[in-house]
Each structure stands twice: as structure tokens, then as C-alpha cells.
């Protein structure tokens, strides 16, 4: 009798196990998750990070300072936003640290004459704010830290098109050697309707793209004009090579942008009358 009960019990347990196995086999299985190659995933992540950086909002105090109404404002008003100057330089310019960014201000001792911001991924402004309520909003540039020499030049066009001084290439020396790391600039001036507003952008030759571009430009000048033309920086006083300068520098990002009046760079010698 006990043996018969044991056999019956074993058969019952085996039946339950078979039933559970059948249920597990028949249960719908979740679809396999699509996998992504590691390299592609990293590439997409980099693109996402880059877009986040690009879309970062302009910092609050920079936005308050870099606009048209700040030109001509009293220094006391600017310093109510920027705080006191970190340095007052021998040429009268003032250095400020605003939202962790380097700002240079030109003044006449009382009022703001020009504003410069040194640019990076965190430090930028909207140049279009210098046209707000002035009927020329279509003349705006992209955000300052997205601007290249080529974009800047295309914004202002050529002097022949505009009928008054337009884009001008400037640098304190050509093939400077190791004596200094020169800046290269593009300077532009607006017309009467924009109150002769001046713009200056620059990049230093410490970066390889800038160095390669200026080296090509200067060697072309020397081949066509002779060594004295480059050595005496005569290119700063005529417009013969401005178009070529824009061409070779077109993909170089500007390192600073300045707007205002009387902003021609002080390290470039005046041209003879």
C-alpha cells in the first residue's frame, strides 16, 4: 500500500513539472533589444554633448552688457552689473571678469566707448542685440563664439559693395618669427545709418590653423611684392590682399569680438598720410 502511494505521488509531482515547463515554453518572450556598435554610440554621445554645449544659454550678465544701449552708457552703470575693474591698463582700457568671462571695455573715462569679449564655449553673446530696435535685425551674426573669419567677412561684404570702409585685414607683423605671437584681425565699419559702428574680430597665431593661414598669406605677398612689402607691413595700409586674407582665414574661429568706436588695434602701426 505504501509503495503504491509513493508511486502515485511521484507521478503527480512529475505531472506538475511537465505542466510548468509547458507554460514557460508557451509564454511570449520579449523581443530582443537592438544593440548599437560601441563606436557609433560614442559618436552619437559626442554629437549630443556638442549640441548641448552649443545650445547653452548666454550668461545673464553678459547679455545685459553686450547690447547696443550699453555703448555710451556711464561706466558706473556698467560696473553696477560687471563689478569693479580687475585692471585699469596703461592705454585706459579696463578688464572685467563677468560670469567667469574676460571682458575688455574702452571708455573716455566716463562713458563706455567699446566692448570686447574673449570667446570660448562658455563665453559668448548675441551680436544681433546691437541692432535691436534699429531697423537692421537682418544684419545679425550667429552667436559670437560660433563666428568664423569667413562668416564675419560675408556679413559685412566688400568696400566696393558698401561704398564706405568695409572689411580690412590687419596684423602687427607678417612672418614674425619667435619675437612675438601676433594677433590677426578683421576690422569693419558700418555706415551712417548705423552710427558708424565699428567691429573688430581677432585670433592669435598660437593656434595651428591661424598660423598655417597667415604663413600662406605672407608667403604669397612676398612672392608677388617682395620681402620689404611684408616686413614693413604695407598690407595694413592698402587693400590688395584683404580678399586673400579672408579666403585663407575663412574657417578660423574668432577668439574675441569687439564692438564700438575707435577700436582699431593698438599693436598695428598707423599708416603714413
Q: Three cell numbers at 212?
A: 598655417
Q: Three cell numbers at 236?
A: 595694413
Report the number of distinct structural domains present in the chain: 1
4 within a domain of the structure (yes/no): no
Amino acid 157: pLDDT: 67
- Checking if the pLDDT of 51 tops 80, the result is no
Residue-wise pLDDT tens digits, 238-262: 889 999 999 999 999 999 999 999 9
133 within a domain of the structure (yes/no): yes
Mean pLDDT confidence for 61-83:
97
Amino acid 139: pLDDT: 56
For the chain, give the mean pLDDT: 78
User: Could you tell me which of 85, 249, 261, 228 has the C-alpha nearest to residue 183?
Assistant: 249
Amino acid 191: pLDDT: 79
1 within a domain of the structure (yes/no): no
Beta bridge partners of 187: 168, 200
Q: Three cell numbers at 19?
A: 505542466
273 within a domain of the structure (yes/no): no
Amino acid 25: pLDDT: 40
Lowest-pLDDT range of 24-33, 59-68, 255-264: 24-33
Range of the domain at 216: 51-260
29 within a domain of the structure (yes/no): no
pTM beyond 0.85, yes or no: no
- Checking if the pLDDT of 166 tops 50, the result is yes
d(CA 126, CA 136): 14
5 within a domain of the structure (yes/no): no
Write out 239-260 in H/E/C secondary structure: CCCHHHHHHHHCCCECCEEEEE
100 within a domain of the structure (yes/no): yes
d(CA 24, CA 243): 76
d(CA 142, CA 154): 12
35 within a domain of the structure (yes/no): no
Torsion of CA 264, 268, 269, 273, to 10 degrees: -40
CA-CA distances (angstroms) from residue 126 to 60, 63, 78?
Answer: 12, 8, 18
Residue-wise pLDDT tens digits, 90-127: 989 999 999 999 999 999 999 999 999 999 999 999 99
Amino acid at each position: 500500500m505504501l509503495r503504491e502511494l509513493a508511486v502515485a505521488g511521484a507521478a503527480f509531482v512529475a505531472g506538475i513539472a511537465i505542466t510548468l515547463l509547458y507554460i514557460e515554453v508557451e509564454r511570449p518572450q520579449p523581443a530582443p533589444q537592438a544593440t548599437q556598435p560601441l563606436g557609433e554610440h560614442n559618436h552619437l554621445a559626442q554629437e549630443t554633448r556638442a549640441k548641448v554645449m552649443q545650445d547653452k544659454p548666454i550668461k545673464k550678465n553678459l547679455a545685459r552688457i553686450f547690447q547696443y544701449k550699453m555703448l555710451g552708457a556711464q561706466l558706473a552703470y556698467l560696473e553696477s552689473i560687471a563689478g569693479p575693474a580687475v585692471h585699469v591698463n596703461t592705454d585706459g582700457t579696463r578688464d572685467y571678469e563677468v560670469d567667469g568671462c574676460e571682458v575688455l571695455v574702452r571708455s573716455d573715462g566716463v562713458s563706455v566707448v567699446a566692448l570686447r569679449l574673449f570667446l570660448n564655449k562658455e563665453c559668448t553673446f548675441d551680436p544681433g542685440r546691437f541692432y535691436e530696435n534699429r531697423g537692421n535685425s537682418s544684419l545679425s551674426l550667429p552667436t559670437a563664439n560660433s563666428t568664423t573669419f569667413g562668416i564675419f567677412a560675408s556679413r559685412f561684404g566688400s568696400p566696393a559693395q558698401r561704398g564706405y570702409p568695409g572689411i580690412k585685414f590687419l596684423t602687427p607683423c607678417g612672418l614674425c618669427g619667435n619675437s612675438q605671437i601676433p594677433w590677426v584681425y578683421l576690422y569693419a565699419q558700418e555706415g551712417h545709418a548705423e552710427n558708424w559702428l565699428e567691429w573688430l574680430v581677432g585670433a592669435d597665431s598660437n593656434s595651428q590653423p591661424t598660423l598655417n593661414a597667415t604663413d600662406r598669406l605672407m608667403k604669397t605677398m612676398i612672392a608677388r611684392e617682395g620681402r620689404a612689402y611684408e616686413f614693413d607691413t604695407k598690407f595694413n595700409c592698402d587693400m590688395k590682399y584683404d580678399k586673400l586674407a579672408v579666403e585663407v582665414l575663412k574657417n578660423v574661429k574668432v577668439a574675441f569680438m569687439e564692438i564700438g568706436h575707435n577700436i582699431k588695434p593698438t599693436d598695428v602701426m598707423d599708416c603714413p598720410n
